[in-house]
Amino acid sequence: MKMNKTLSVLCMTVLFAGSLSGCGNDGSSPEEGGSASKGGTLNVLTWEGDVSDETVADFEEEYGVDVNITYVEDTNTILAKMLQGNSEYDVIDIESAYMKSFVDAELLAPLDYDKITNYENIDPVYVEKGAMGDEKLTYSLPITGPLYTGVVINKETCPIEIDSFEDLADPALEGQVWSTNATISLYAGALKALGYSPNSQDEKELNEAQALLQKIKPNIKAFGASSISSLETGECSVAYTYDYNILMFDDKANWDKFEIVPETTLGYCQYWTVAASSENQKLANEFINYTYSAESAIKLLNEWGGVPALKRELIEEGVAKDYFENPMLQEFADMWPDHEELSVSDEQTAIMDTLYNELMSGE
C-alpha cells in the first residue's frame, strides 16, 4: 500500500456492477465528451510517480488541452467524495485493493478499447486478469507492473534470519523495525502469517492478528509513509514496507545490501480508470492510451524508475543499460503468478480501524 488508505465505514447501499464482459468491453461505450468538454481541460487524479511530467506536457501540446494533475493523498477520502457526487475527476489512478469498492459503487465507466490502441504494448502477463472486482479489465488497465508490501531486511545488519512476518516479534529486533502505518497492510500481513486470508472479515481472526501485532510493536522504532531514509541511513535494519522497488532503484549499492522476504509479500498494482461522472470520457481514454506508448513509458522510467507495465523489448533501448539488471524486477515478476492480493471491504475496515486505534493507544 502506498499510504495509510483505510476506508471509513461508508453508508453505501450499492448493487454489484452486473456481469463483467471479456477484454474490458461490455458493449456499452463512454459518452463522447471529447476535448471540448470542460473547456478543454482534463482532470487527472494520480499517485506521484505514475505518470511523467513530460508526458503530460506532450499530451497537452498534441491535443491542445490543459491537464490538471491532482496527487492522491488518501484513497478513502476520494471514494467518499465520489459517493457523495462531488467528483470533478476524469481519469483516476486506483490501487488494486480498492477496485471492487469503486466498481460496486458504479463510480467507473467502461474503458473504450477502440481508443486504447496501445493496449497491445502492455506485457500480456499483467493483463491476464485484473484486480479483484474487475478481473476482466472492463474498467481498468495496469499502470505499473507488480508491486509488493513485504518485509525488507538489510542483509549486513539484521541480527536474525527472517522467514515470516511473525519473526518481527523476535526480541533481537527491539528498536530496529520500521513499519508502514497503512492499516490494511498491517492486518493483512498478520492475517497471512497466521494462515488466514488477508481479506478476512472474521473478528476472531482479526483479533488474533491484533495479538501478533501487539507482540511486534515493541520492536518497531517508527511507523510512517516511507522507509527509505530509515533503511539507507542504517537507523533500522528491517522494514515492513511497500518501498522495496524504490529502494532498489535509488542506489545500485542497494542491490546487494537489501532483500525482500517472499513469504511476507502482498501484491498490488496501480490502475488507470475513467470516472463514470466524467464529461470528458473520450479524452480520458485517449490520455490513458497515450501513457501506454513506448515513448511515454520510457520517460516515466527515466524520471521515476519503477516496474514497467509495457513489454521489455519496446522500452529496453530507451532506459539505462543496466535498468533490467536490477534483481528486484525479476523477483517481482517471479512472485506475481502466486501473489496474495488485497481487496478492501468496509466491513473489514471497520474492525481494523478500531483495532488499529487500540494498537496505537496501547490498549
Q: What is the pLDDT of residues 262-273, one digit of tens each?
A: 999 999 999 999
pLDDT reported for residue 75: 74
Residue whose C-alpha cell is 502466486: 338
Q: Is 347 helix (H, G, I), strand (E, B) or coil?
A: helix
Amino acid at residue number 52: S
pLDDT reported for residue 1: 52
CA–CA gap between residue 105 and residue 103 (Å, rounded): 5
pLDDT reported for residue 25: 36
What are the tens digits of pLDDT across the range 151-197? 999 999 999 999 999 999 999 999 999 999 989 999 999 999 999 99
Helix boundaries (H) for 84-202: 99-104, 183-193
- State which residues of the chain have pLDDT below 70: 1-39, 86, 363
Tally of CB atoms within 10 A around 13: 6
pLDDT reported for residue 240: 98
β-strand partners of 268: 147
pLDDT reported for residue 363: 62
pLDDT reported for residue 31: 40
B/e letters for 127-151, b = 16+ CB within 10 Å, e = fewer, are: beebbbbbebbbbbbbbbbbbbbbb
Closest CA to 215 of 195, 229, 235, 194: 194
Q: Is 7 helix (H, G, I), strand (E, B) or coil?
A: coil
CA–CA gap between residue 162 and residue 357 (Å, rounded): 27
Percent of the chain with pLDDT over 70: 88
- Cα distances from 262 to residues 23, 328, 335, 340, in angstroms, run 31, 12, 7, 11
CA–CA gap between residue 340 and residue 148 (Å, rounded): 9
Domains within the chain, CATH numbers bracketed: 30-145+269-325 (3.40.190.10), 147-267+343-361 (3.40.190.10)
Q: Is 150 helix (H, G, I), strand (E, B) or coil?
A: strand
Q: Is 306 helix (H, G, I), strand (E, B) or coil?
A: coil
Is residue 327 within 8 Å of 255, Cβ to Cβ? yes
Amino acid at residue number 226: S
